[in-house]
Chain A
Amino acid sequence: MRVLWFHLMPYPDLPDDFRDKHRSVWVDLDSGLLDPEVVAASYDAYLDQLVFAEECGFDGLCVNEHHSNGYGLMPSPNLMASILANRTSRAAVVVLGNSVALYNPPTRVAEEMAMLDLLSKGRLVAGFPVGTAMDTAYAYGTNPGTLRAKYYEGIDLVLQAWTTPEPFAFNGRFTKQRWVNIWPRPMQQPHPPVWIPGGGSVETWDLCAERDFVYAALSYYGHLVGKESMDGFWATVEKAGKDDNPYRAGFLQFVGVADSDAEAYRLYREPAEYFFQRSLHFFPGFVDPPGYSSEASYRRKLTSSVRSAAMTTQARGGPTWDEMLERGYVIIGSPSTVRETLADVAKTLHVGHLMTLLHFGNMDDELARRNTELFGQKVLPELRQVWSGYTDHWWPANVD
């Protein structure tokens, strides 16, 4: 199994009464809460943590894109990835990713990712999320009714830009470009591996299964909710007549390691509560714009009791610490506890890429590093053995 270190880069200084005084961490968040000094210091610490993760043996370093929020401070993950490309030498640089429908033309994504692949000497994983409703429909004003069609078209354009040797004309529904001929081109040929971050929509399963992209399930509600999503994905893969190589999939999980279970319970409570009660404090009016979910996904949402329970809990103020643990949102414990649980999760979900969130919420730098170090030393080596019989065809060419 590949084990990756994922940074959300949250704003770490939302006030204690944030939930009471502010309706949302996203879209209409009060800019008066933002202290540029805090952001600048956080960027330094967060980038150092990612570099440290490579030193601790993690296989990949993940960054992602969000807008107008205090949940994640990366409107441009490519800026962060370019620094990582330069400061690291071994780990995959996993950009999860660029919301191609937001770029006009999406050719810009092809160009920047090509640059990142070259800067990292062929270590890029290219992720293409639809983007959250808050990012796409509200913060960027993109029509949710055509967002997904625009997104598919954007991916097509990027892949064609990477792989078509001659200048070509692109005549899409949304993008029309007479001359597409990007310079530079990616180092990896024919192109960097493509991963699609997803939250359980039926169309994303279809896209990944049909086009052999990695389905990277990004749920913050842990492996129990994730099981429903991953089962849906694997059923789609089977229906498409593809093999069940676990490296077709990735899964995101909050993890906290300490010397003992009791110590982990004490150490990780505050940052987890910060994340679920402040970083995930969305106004429900920004979650479900008409058209963001396709008809099929909307039908599925209506019948998903697991998802509905998670959303209900989030709406009433976020889960308690004990609920987070019971429901598997956060996996904590001694190295042996975490190792056994994660190995079991990987097998249950049948995932070959485990994306770990070892920094979350307002976790301080010291704890983030300790968590990373302990995981790297005492958890990661054994997890690597999981799925040893399979080949990862979705990994950058220049990373072991």
Chain B
Amino acid sequence: MSTEPTASPTGDRTLVYLPGLAGDPGSSPALAALEAEGWTVVRPLLPGFDGEAGFDCPDDYLGWLTALWDAVDATGVGPCPVVGASVGGMLAADLAVFRPELVTRLALLAPFGIFDPDHPGLDPYSVPTAKRLEPLFAEAVPEAFHHRFAAKGESEAPVARYLTDIAAASLIWPVGDQGLEGRLHRIRCPRLVLWGTDDQIIPAPTAASWGDHRLVDGAGHLLEWDRPDAVAALLLPFLSS
């Protein structure tokens, strides 16, 4: 099997997006900005992140990687850029490590995967459930997250949110270090690492562990939601170059 990226059969302006801790409520302004520039955003469906009943947590990280590979393969996309945020950033990085033929460019937004004991940050799961979204953002929680799963109805929406939480938490429990530091050298495609200066979950000094990076002023952990314009402005030239 070839491990070098080749041209995407789905077109030159397709990218894969892997969302962060709070899942993907859709309507991300940063992704909308990319779409406005002609990019097609493909969202692989990871187990649990859809809030569907009956989610069974993979046994371990290898189980998650297998689920990721299956999900990406199921989209039918060929080699293309991959944008991953938070837990999705960790998965995106490992996609580039283990399936390098799929990833032409790698954009990581405050990825988990390397834990810096000198800057442990806030444990997102030591926050009471009702307030768990708040520290993910530098400012108010975007409306899209409040209404996520609203279509499921009043009684089922909290269950769907809980299942999404289980999926995300199980990827990073207890400290979100999956040994990526020892695998970073395997990433051969161009890489852009962005980090919010106000990230409470993974403080910005951790970004140095990932090598070259850019800081986004005033952004929290889910920086593509806090500073969509700034993030899109950095992503667009990287993805298009």
Contact = CB atoms under 8 A, between A and B. Distances in A.
Given A144-B169, A289-B169, A290-B169, A298 B174 contact: no
Given A143-B173, A302-B155, A290 B162 contact: yes
B160 to A, nearest CB: 10
B241 interface: no
A184 interface: no
A145 B158 contact: no
Interface in A275-296: 283-291, 293, 295
B237 interface: no
B163 A295 contact: yes
A317 interface: no
Interface in B143-192: 155, 158-159, 162-163, 165-170, 173-175
Contact of B173 (A144, A284, A287): A144
B240 interface: no
Given A141-B173, A141-B174, A290-B169, A146 B159 contact: no
Contacts of B163: 295
A145 B57 contact: yes
B126 A286 contact: yes
B128 interface: yes
B159 A302 contact: yes
Nearest to B161: A290
A299 B159 contact: yes
B128 A143 contact: no
A291 B129 contact: no
A226 to B, nearest CB: 24
Contacts of B127: 285
A145 B64 CA distance: 12
B126 A290 contact: no
A142 B166 CA distance: 13
A249 to B, nearest CB: 29
A149 B60 CA distance: 12
A291 B59 contact: no
Contacts of B167: 145
Nearest to B168: A290
Contact of A138 (B53, B126, B155): B126
Contact of B169 (A141, A283, A291, A293): A291
Contacts of A145: 57, 166-167, 169-170, 173
A146 B54 contact: no
Given A173-B59, A285-B126, A291-B169, A143 B159 contact: no
Contacts of B59: 146, 149, 173-174
A73 interface: no
Contacts of B125: 137, 285, 289-290
A288 B128 CA distance: 8
A142 B173 CA distance: 7
Given A146-B59, A286-B126, A298-B162, A291 B174 contact: no
A302 B158 contact: yes
Given A146-B57, A288-B128, 16 more contacts: A137-B173, A143-B169, A143-B173, A145-B166, A174-B59, A285-B125, A285-B126, A286-B126, A289-B173, A290-B125, A290-B166, A290-B169, A290-B170, A293-B162, A298-B159, A299-B159
Interface of B: 53-55, 57, 59-60, 125-129, 155, 158-159, 162-163, 165-170, 173-175
18 contacts: A141-B173, A142-B173, A142-B174, A143-B57, A143-B174, A145-B166, A145-B170, A146-B59, A149-B59, A284-B129, A285-B128, A290-B168, A291-B57, A293-B162, A295-B159, A298-B159, A302-B155, A302-B159
